[in-house]
Amino acid sequence: MNSNELVLSACAFHKPERIPRFDSFWEYPDVWRERLGPPEDLTDIAIWVPDETTFPSRSHFIKKSSDWTYEMDGWGRTFRQKQGAYFSETLEVPLPVGVDPEAVAFDSHGLDARYLQGCSNELEMLNALA
């Protein structure tokens, strides 16, 4: 049984081959990695948290120059970041001074893309939607 089958079987009150595992390691020492393998192999259950930004549909990569990466995030903010830097520089905000926030149309709370952050590729996302 794969992880999906184990969890579904247990949730349906059937007896799975083994109890589904859930470990929430963000990271652990290299010694553990050598002994146990990567953290993602130790769990059968994933917790998907929705994208709570105001404009997740706007989030995209804009361009990359020699030293900078330009992007728009889910908050509608256009920013640039130096390669390897922790902080970024905001170039443009989604609500200019004087705009009535009540007049802004935010992305729907039910937007499928908000809940598909755990998908590693387009095929996995399509399967999750099916």
Inter-residue long-range contacts of 118-127, CB under 8 Å, 24+ positions, other chains counted:
118/46, 118/48
For residue 101, pLDDT over 80 is answered with yes
Range 58-64 average pLDDT: 93
For residue 69, pLDDT over 90 is answered with yes
Tracing tokens 């728009």 back to the chain, one arrives at 72
pLDDT at 123: 59
Residues 30-52: tens digit of each pLDDT: 888 888 888 777 777 777 778 89
pLDDT at 41: 76
Range 68-80 average pLDDT: 95
Q: What is the DSSP string of 12-26?
A: TT---SSPPP----S
Q: What percent of the chain has pLDDT over 90?
A: 31
User: What's the angle, vertex CA 90, arms to CA 55 and CA 102, rounded to 5?
Assistant: 40
For residue 82, pLDDT over 90 is answered with yes
pLDDT at 124: 61
pLDDT at 33: 81
**Domains of the chain by residue range:** 1-47, 53-130
Please list the helix, strand and coil fractions of the chain in percent, rounded to the nearest 5, in that order: 30, 15, 55
